[in-house]
A and B are shown apart, each in its own frame.
Chain A
């Protein structure tokens, strides 16, 4: 038991937790924006791949790191626009369109990587974001400024959603698009805007992997993180504050399983520990299911003038 305590009171453990949580937080906030406006965005998995790739490519080509993040955000926004065109403009199935976007975004990224670097055996590297030594806070000092950005986004998005007219419009079109239209809100414009903004965040989430957590682009580096975000947003009841909580909780168990593998608790095969975060995600979904308050119009296509 004391060994478990040793793991948890170690500062390096919490540094890892916050680092693992960052892309999940960015991605979950992205999903949250889309779903609050009533649109499921399963494109996240592929958009994260594309953001990881273009962000890294821009920096590799000589751009400063922050411009890489902007490139990733723009990439995400472009795929978001595609998803919006399909699901809002044409009212197609949000599930299928999202999976199509994921397939297209990841295929384009891998294709682009192979065309740009046809003969490399070890992935080319960049110099990633530095730790924020200047900040003078124990755990945060070992994070990069992208983590700080993600943390600041939480109150910012909460404020925008609950205290501004734009946020009200986003929540309205996600709850009752007909009523929103009746109030003179353009459902199509608001939903498109929310998807584009949310997808830009997903792109940034991907770029955290290549510009902060690692220093290169690998195949399968996103590895289901996008899907985890889709689960986390349900767990968070579509609230930014709880999204932070959910991302930290998931990261806690992910960091814990990594350390348990190397401890005297490693009595079971390592795969069991790797399963833990996924199993817990499902358990969390079941636990919150009864009181989950889905945005009422989530996954319901809206066609003007059609009931």
Chain B
């Protein structure tokens, strides 16, 4: 068996690939639903309605999509340049801690700054915290040849322990009755709601604008071209005069900053404070979303809404008929794998013998 690159993407493959991907995902999850002893049609119906079936459902899905969109963008820009940042989870928490450090402690830095100034400082602080956290692994990769996959993964655990430390000590909320929770953000810094009586907040506008901004950056600017070139073929890019090292550093700062902002926007828009479980793996899910979107920033918007809808829908479905919520993770993982395979088969054909 061998792979052969197609001269032109086959029309049939282009149509069949997405159908096959959806079909495979549905097949896997249907078998699991049957195993749990539930009716397949009813389960999917409840899942869809729970994720997209009402104003409330859509608002919950969009709320969940906001951090996913940002970590998805963080993975997109990093993977585009082949900087394998698996540390968005840690960068998200670093951003969240920075947000509380600027906008929560001592009633907001204690300097009595006006809320708009404080808000900008808070977001900047979060972006810088995330960026610096990824700068270390990026420099270790560039200067010492240390694989960034391992270092960013290990940093996630270190950051989570640091969060736990802060919630026990300097950032502990004394009124939380021993529950590990940080002091709350100053009320003036919270993001306002997009739809009254729901949880969806203006962080959505931030995330969508950042997606558009990243798309424009990659498509129309010189640094964007450098990023794409460094990712496509670093040696050829360097030969053609692309400053590869500088580009990877810029990518690290951008990617880390986006993940850091995800943390700050979660705090400012949804939770109001930091807890140890504020992110159920948004950082890792961001990688899945980036791949589902084929590393296209605008595709990240759609992919994050899809993943968020599955997660929210599964929660709501599980409450009604008791199929475990982990079905959502299976659906997301199966769709990732099947989309990867489907994309591959539009570009290559398999020859036997």
Size of the chain A interface, CB-CB below 8 angstroms: 50
Tell me, in angstroms, the Cα distance from A274 to B336 when the chains sit together.
Answer: 33
CB neighbours of A269 from chain B (8 A):
165, 168-169
CB neighbours of B344 from chain A (8 A):
90-92
**Is the beta-carbon distance between A234 and B144 smaller than 8 angstroms?**
no
Give the most central of B86, B140, B146, B168: most A CB within 10 Å. B146
- Main SS at interface, chain A: helix
User: Which of B54-62, B233-241, B324-332 interfaces with chain A?
Assistant: B324-332
**Is the beta-carbon distance between A110 and B324 smaller than 8 angstroms?**
yes
Interface residue? B32 (CB, 8 A):
yes
**Is the beta-carbon distance between A110 and B326 smaller than 8 angstroms?**
yes
**Is the beta-carbon distance between B158 and A99 smaller than 8 angstroms?**
no
Interface residue? B14 (CB, 8 A):
no
Interface residue? B162 (CB, 8 A):
yes
Which residues A221-272 have CB closer than 8 A to chain B? 224, 227-228, 230-231, 234, 269, 271-272
CB neighbours of B1 from chain A (8 A):
89, 188
CB neighbours of B336 from chain A (8 A):
96, 100, 103
**Is the beta-carbon distance between A234 and B150 smaller than 8 angstroms?**
yes
In the complex, the number of residue pairs spanning A and B with C-beta atoms less than 8 Å apart equals 137
User: Which of B182-190, B210-218, B284-292 interfaces with chain A?
Assistant: B284-292
CB neighbours of A230 from chain B (8 A):
149-150, 153
Interface residue? B147 (CB, 8 A):
yes
CB neighbours of B158 from chain A (8 A):
275, 278-279
Size of the chain B interface, CB-CB below 8 angstroms: 48
Interface residue? B195 (CB, 8 A):
no
Contact with B along A267-307 (1 / 0, CB 8 A): 00101101100110110011001101000000000011110
Residue of A nearest to B336 (CB): A100
Interface residue? B340 (CB, 8 A):
yes
- Main SS at interface, chain B: helix
Tell me, in angstroms, the Cα distance from A161 to B144 when the chains sit together.
Answer: 28
Contact with A along B278-321 (1 / 0, CB 8 A): 00000010011001000000000000000000000000000000
Given A100-B333, A118-B322, are A303 and B144 neighbors across the interface (CB < 8 Å)? no
Contact of B340 among A97, A115, A281 (CB under 8 A): A97
**Shortest beta-carbon contacts, A-B, top 3:** A107-B329, A114-B324, A104-B333
Residues of B near any A CB (own CB < 8 A): 1-3, 5, 32, 35-36, 84, 86, 140, 144-147, 149-151, 153-158, 161-162, 164-165, 168-169, 284, 287-288, 291, 322, 324, 326-327, 329-330, 332-334, 336-337, 340-341, 344, 348
Residues of A near any B CB (own CB < 8 A): 40, 42, 82, 86, 89-93, 95-97, 99-101, 103-104, 106-108, 110-111, 114-115, 118, 188, 224, 227-228, 230-231, 234, 269, 271-272, 274-275, 278-279, 281-282, 285-286, 289-290, 292, 303-306
Beyond A89-B1, A278-B158, A278-B161, 7 additional contacts (C-beta under 8 Å) are: A90-B341, A91-B3, A107-B329, A230-B153, A279-B158, A285-B150, A306-B5
